[in-house]
Structure 1
Amino acid sequence: MIKTSRLLEIFNLPNIEELWDFHTRQMADFGFERILYGYTRYRTATSLGDPNDFVLLTNHDKSYTDVFIGDGLYFHAPMVRWSLENEGACSWSVLADMSQTGTLTDAERKVFEFNRSKDVVAGYSISFKSVSPRTKGAIALTARKGMSQQDADAIWQEHGEDIIALNTIVHLRILTLPYVAPGRALTRRQREVLVWVGDGKTIQDIALLLSLTPATIEKHLRLAREALSVETTAQAVLKAAFQNQMFVLDA
């Protein structure tokens, strides 16, 4: 049974960094010491979107993430494919079945062998319910080194419902907090002008409200579009809102 105090702490943590630190310690208590969370709002039939727009959180070693994420192996990972096609939790025992029956593609086998070389061999994946076809969130829980899949399954048998509940709550909490890839953060002024655009104000209106020239407002909007890697101001407003960069309080 999940303690109420634990839930309250999750709800009250002020930022993703503290939330993630708390959650990694929670999962380590269950025996899952290495975890990888990913979320995209830009999924299509052939892509998960620009990796710079993903919400990616992990405590895996850099030597693992540089290859699995940096070299794009994740796109061919069997459990990523499972997560895209399903919702709920899945034991990694299915990987052994796929390997033994020869149902892994060459690209998937490459990921399978890489994971095995990094002792990422036992664990569970949780695929969260999507609110639209464009979104998908999932988390991979890697069991402590030295543990077998049978050990992980035994933990899940006893604590699986609590683990799913905690991960789902953390997932939903992450979606409410600002998360920006390096180099994509907006300045205070850029956020301010986007907020006014979102409120329906024109360039001239915003210039009067902020006691600036229209040219200066245009400059801030251009820089905001560049930071968010979008073409139009409407796209910038939408993306900034997705990333919870708008309507935030400065410390």
Structure 2
Amino acid sequence: MTDALSQIRRIVSARTPDAVWTELAAALKPYGFDRMLYGATSNRREGSVGDIQDVVTFTTLTRQPGRGREDVSFFIRTPMFRWVMTHAGASSWRWTEEQLAAGLLTPDEVVARDIARKSGLCVGYVISFEEPGSRRAAALSMIGAPEQTQDSLDAMWALKGDEIMILAQTMHLKIQSMPLKVHRRALSPRQREALEWVAEGKTSQDIAIIMGISAGMVEKHLRLARECLDVDTTAQAVAKAAMFNHLYTTPSGEAKR
């Protein structure tokens, strides 16, 4: 089994999104990438990823927990974000320098580019994943290690780019099939169960009997679920929970069998 196939097997076999991310980080290091940032949204708008709290994020830019949202917020300001929102596939960060030389960067993009370079985010590649729906968008930004130059990464990509694309796509598809981490308070098991019964067409009275609680308590669970998901109606709560793969999961986050 080749190294790439072995890495794909480990990514596919990972049981949690965090484990998937860890396997990808290990797989990409030999290619010269020592830091990565991933973001995915199902609420894309024109030039926007929607509410940042609903963006699924993973990052190795910092070891501080919960920093994914801040890292994605910065990436949104960079020139490569514009590329991601208008293209599918992979691009060298050389594109930013070409846009700068041609005078095509906005003032905000120039500021973000300068901040990135001062922070050691100088060379790299970005992948914009092709998505089936117009509301979905996802990208992986890969930062070159300190000893790398854009020329060295471009030369490596010419030889190994297809392997990296397959590894990244495997990570993306695996994570998107799992309960997704977002920057909101998690549903409680009872809130999740109530939403699952609503999704199956049960009324509050039906759910009360099934769960062995009062109809008033069912309504309380549904209200709290709506608050957790920041929506107005229970139908919206069901749709949003399903979008994040939060329904029909076990307490450990794995899909029910």
Bucket of the pairwise TM-score, normalised by the shorter protein: over 0.9
Structure-to-structure mapping, 1:1-251, within 5 angstroms: 3-61=4-62, 69=70, 72-251=73-252
Contact persistence 2:89–2:128 (CA under 8 A)? yes
Q: Structure 1 pair 52/97, CA: closer, same or farther in 2 (3 Å)? A: same
TM-score w.r.t. the length of structure 2 is 0.91
The secondary structure found in structure 1 opposite 2:21 is helix
Q: Structure 1 pair 203/62, CA: closer, same or farther in 2 (3 Å)? A: same
AA in 1 matched with 2:198: V
Contact persistence 2:53–2:184 (CA under 8 A)? no
- 1:12-37 deviations in Å (ceiling 9; x for gaps): 21101111111111111211011111
- 1:183 deviates by 3.9
- 1:8 deviates by 2.2
Contact persistence 1:32–1:144 (CA under 8 A)? yes
| 2-structure distance, mates of 1:221, 1:67 | 29
The secondary structure found in structure 1 opposite 2:37 is strand
Deviates more, 1:45-54 or 1:2-11: 2-11
Number of aligned positions between the proteins: 250
AA in 1 matched with 2:204: I
TM-score w.r.t. the length of structure 1 is 0.94
The secondary structure found in structure 1 opposite 2:33 is coil
- 1:6 deviates by 2.5
Q: Structure 1 pair 250/34, CA: closer, same or farther in 2 (3 Å)? A: same
| 1-structure distance, mates of 2:47, 2:103 | 24
The secondary structure found in structure 2 opposite 1:33 is strand
The secondary structure found in structure 1 opposite 2:12 is helix
- 1:103 deviates by 1.3
Aligned-CA RMSD value: 2.0
- 1:4 deviates by 3.3
| 2-structure distance, mates of 1:4, 1:74 | 31
The secondary structure found in structure 2 opposite 1:21 is helix
| 2-structure distance, mates of 1:177, 1:227 | 19
- 1:163-204 deviations in Å (ceiling 9; x for gaps): 011001110111011123344211111110000000000000
Contact persistence 2:207–2:218 (CA under 8 A)? yes
Contact persistence 2:204–2:218 (CA under 8 A)? yes
- Of all paired residues, the percent bearing the same amino acid is 34
| 1-structure distance, mates of 2:106, 2:13 | 44
Listed as ranges, the gaps of 5+ residues in structure 1 are none
The secondary structure found in structure 1 opposite 2:38 is strand
Deviates more, 1:192-201 or 1:241-250: 241-250
